Amino acid sequence: MTKQEKSRFVIETLERLYPEVTVPLDHKDPYTLLIAVLLSAQSTDVRVNQITPILFAKADNPHDMAKLTVEEIRDIIKPVGLSPMKSKGIHGLSKILIEKHDGKVPQTYTELEALPAVGHKTAAVVLSQAFGIPAFPVDTHIHRLMYRWGLSNGKNVVQTEKDAKSCFPKALWNKIHIQIILYGRQYSPARGWNLEKDVITKTIGRPSIIKEYMSKK
């Protein structure tokens, strides 16, 4: 299969499996999405969705969040991990949003990535899902699957993002990155992987990956 044929197969399969998608993180606006994505680093969406209602009951906007202390924020978000860094980031970015952005979440990579604890992936998620700006956030699932499918060399997430953007039409980026994440969780996880259930990898996957899998059976 050519890379174009592989990409078409991925698109068609994912569209059949996941015709409608939503952001797995519960939120109501760009600010709450920004906070939820920040909290999801090295945590799970399920855990984050358990904590954000508690946090947002106290502060669901920059003004109220800035009134909390870093310690108060940290006490609430401890279960998601990395709470010292995340609590400082949430408090710091809330103050900056008030001081520099009139309390609103900015809509550019440069401005978002200038906020404390906000990296490229977090910025990409916010741009794509809060504002509809085409972006291709790459998490561990997308990085793993792009390599398994032979659509990227898998050296780093920067290269994976570049490859993903070249493989799939720009109009699909905001939807397909979520579809790939859902597929990775359900059919092609890092652990407990069953190739027989993973129709995409089984059909278009990198031969070395399939050979390695078969050798371990």
- Please list the active-site residues: 121, 139
Amino acid at the residue 139:
D
**Distances 81 to 44, 53, 71, 76, 146 between C-alpha atoms, Å:** 10, 17, 14, 11, 27
Long-range contacts of range 200-204, CB-CB < 8 Å, 24 or more positions apart?
200/9, 200/10, 200/13, 200/145, 200/149, 201/145, 201/148, 201/149, 203/9, 204/1, 204/5, 204/6, 204/9, 204/10, 204/149, 204/150
Length of the chain measured in residues? 217
